Amino acid sequence: MTYGGAQKFLISLSQEHIRSKAEVAVIGLYPGPLGQSLNDYGITYFEYNFKRKIDPRILFEIMRVIRQWSPDVVHTHLGTADFYGRIAAKLSKVKRVVSTIHNEEDWKSKAIYRHLDNFSLLFADYIVACSKSVYESLNTQSESNNKIKLIENGVDTSIEVRKSREDIYREINITTDSRLIVCIGRLEEQKNHQLLLKAISILKRPELKVCFIGAGSREVFLKELEIQLGISDNIIWIPQTSDPYSYISASDIMVLPSLWEGLPIVLLESMSLEKLIIASDIESHRHVINSGRNGFLFRSGDADDLARCIKAALDIDKNLLKDIEVSANQTVKSRYDIKEAARKYMEVYTNGKLSSAEC
């Protein structure tokens, strides 16, 4: 229950189900700060702290909670929970077992995990792809094509921003004439933070500040690279925050340099907040961003092209900027509202069908 996109989607989806008079309980196999959020929203939460992914106790604990609750549906998210949750639910004779796949790259990991996942898929009634790119990947590589449904991720389009731009600038100790870029994501290879660092070193603009929000295994590597590139005065590191929306709102630009994605929640949230997005030209981003109309795409892995896009965004005409920001907001409201995603999930829960092909 870290501040990840899948976890935030889980909370939003659970809230919508509660509003539709469903009862919701969440089992977290590992602790994290978002667990408290579930309790705050009135969602029953069972928290565990299993040390290993291969641990039979996980299966038996999930089955114990299922026996306690007797749910109509078990819905699993992310690898370890998918594997144990599907099996536990089916062994417990749950009526409907649904899994959401949040990332296409999960299917390119070690062969043993792929085989274990394919085995556990035998226990799932339906597999939901969170984006068109994940849907296409699943249909290519999964052995259970007849079970796959497409319901694209959704977000709450009425996001509350708690702090002003001035508050955030004071919080991170930058001057009012600074231009702020925010990049939110785990410090892992997938998110490709080093590309943004290289782009900043190319630009050589002292007024440009980049706030990275997230933690992960590449923290030391990235901070060493920052020093090597001589851009320490431009960079701010924040391991985590319970209020990402204020940082997004305070930014001039949101940058998503990822190498691969499913459908990033932070992308949809930023667009909902009318922020200018610069994202890598990968398939999942292309399905959302029409470059030049509701954001910008740069050639994935190309630091020079990212630097070019950032410079253009900083110098953009104000009227054009407003048009792009409004268009971004309209894109999310029309295509990625959590209410519509929750409605479609309820259709899968109840009858295994969708009233239309996509969300």
218 residue type, one letter: R
Residue with tokens 């992308």, as numbered in its chain: 267
Cα distance from N-terminal residue to C-terminal residue, the chain: 26
Q: What is the DSSP letter of 94?
A: -
CA 326 to chain centre: 22
Residues near 291 by Cβ (< 8 Å), separated by ≥ 6?
A: 281, 297
Tell me if 282 sits within 8 A of 260, measured CB to CB.
Answer: yes
Angstrom distances, CA of residue 86 to CA of 43, 95, 145, 224: 21, 12, 17, 42
Count of CA atoms in the C-beta half-sphere (13 A) of 55: 14
Starting at the edge strand found earlier in the chain, the sheet holding 73-77 runs 73-77, 96-101, 126-129, 148-150
Residue 142, pLDDT score: 64
Residue 357, pLDDT score: 47
196 residue type, one letter: L
Least Cα distance to 46 among 30, 70, 23, 67 occurs for 30
Per-residue pLDDT of the chain (359 residues; tens, 9 = 90+): 888 899 999 999 999 999 999 999 999 999 988 888 888 888 999 999 999 988 999 999 999 999 999 999 999 999 999 999 999 999 999 999 999 999 876 555 678 887 888 899 999 999 999 999 999 988 887 666 789 999 999 999 999 899 999 999 999 999 999 999 999 999 999 999 999 999 999 999 999 999 999 999 999 999 999 999 999 999 999 998 989 999 999 999 999 999 999 999 999 999 999 999 999 999 999 999 999 999 999 999 999 999 999 999 999 999 999 999 999 999 999 999 999 999 999 999 999 888 754 44
Tell me if 253 sits within 8 A of 279, measured CB to CB.
Answer: no
pTM comes to: 0.93
Least Cα distance to 264 among 201, 200, 186 occurs for 186
Based on the number of CB atoms within 10 Å of its own CB, is 342 exposed (0-12), middle (13-18) or buried (19 or more)? buried
Six token digits for residue 181: 């870029």
